[in-house]
Each structure stands twice: as C-alpha cells, then as structure tokens.
Amino acid sequence: GENVEQHPSTLSVQEGDSAVIKCTYSDSASNYFPWYKQELGKRPQLIIDIRSNVGEKKDQRIAVTLNKTAKHFSLHITETQPEDSAVYFCAAGGQGSARQLTFGSGTQLTVLP
C-alpha cells in the first residue's frame, strides 16, 4: 500500500518568512496530492491540492510543487502570518474507486510574531 513520509515534524519561522514542508510517497499510481491544515481541536481543512499531471499550483501565499519522478511534493507558504500556525498534513491517493487518502504524520508550524 501507499506510504507517505512528511518532514519536518515541527517548524518554527518568524512572521513574514517562508515555510516549506516536504513529503515523499511510495506508490507511483497515486495521482492526487492534497494538503490539509488542522488547527487545535478543529477539522482538517483542505487548503490546496495538485494532480499528477501538474508540476506546480499556486493560491495566493501558498503553493505546492510535485516531482513525480522523485515521488515527492512540497508545500510552500510565503509571507507567513501568526494565523498560519497549525498542523499541516500532506496526503497521497486517488487510486481506485475509493480514491482513499494516505496521510503523512503532520508538521506543527509555529509562526513567531
């Protein structure tokens, strides 16, 4: 089955700096890679996703890149703000009729004011 590894597990940045979170996946059949933000005690919120036929996608201050050959994808957050502080999860999936997602172990991002 699919295996997703996520690094780093914790990340602290100064407000205004950029943050990068990296994930690798094992199953070359995976074709969908979403990123979720989960604030303490709240639901995971889909913030951006990318399909395997696209190398990069951007939405305001966040962007995701995908390298299918190396089987890794990354989340980039620019001009970080304190409200960006949360746990971020990457996931891989999309295969089969269920298109189930396999999640990484999460990155606790702290943006210091």
Partner 1 sequence: ETGVTQSPTHLIKTRGQQVTLRCSSQSGHNTVSWYQQALGQGPQFIFQYYREEENGRGNFPPRFSGLQFPNYSSELNVNALELDDSALYLCASSLARRYEQYFGPGTRLTVT
Q: Which residues of this protein are in contact with partner 1, per CB under 8 A?
A: 1, 4, 6, 32, 34, 36, 42-46, 49, 51, 89, 91, 93-94, 96-106
Distance CA 96, CA 99 (A): 5
Whichever of 15 and 58 has its CB closer to partner 1, that residue is 58
Q: How far is the CB of 96 from partner 1 (least distance, A)?
A: 6
Distance CA 74, CA 67 (A): 9
Q: How far is the CB of 102 from partner 1 (least distance, A)?
A: 7
Burial class (CB in 10 A: 0-12, 13-18, 19+), 75: buried
Q: How far is the CB of 44 from partner 1 (least distance, A)?
A: 5
Whichever of 44 and 84 has its CB closer to partner 1, that residue is 44
Whichever of 66 and 93 has its CB closer to partner 1, that residue is 93
Our CA angle for 78, 49, 64, nearest 5°, is 35
Amino acid, res. 82: P
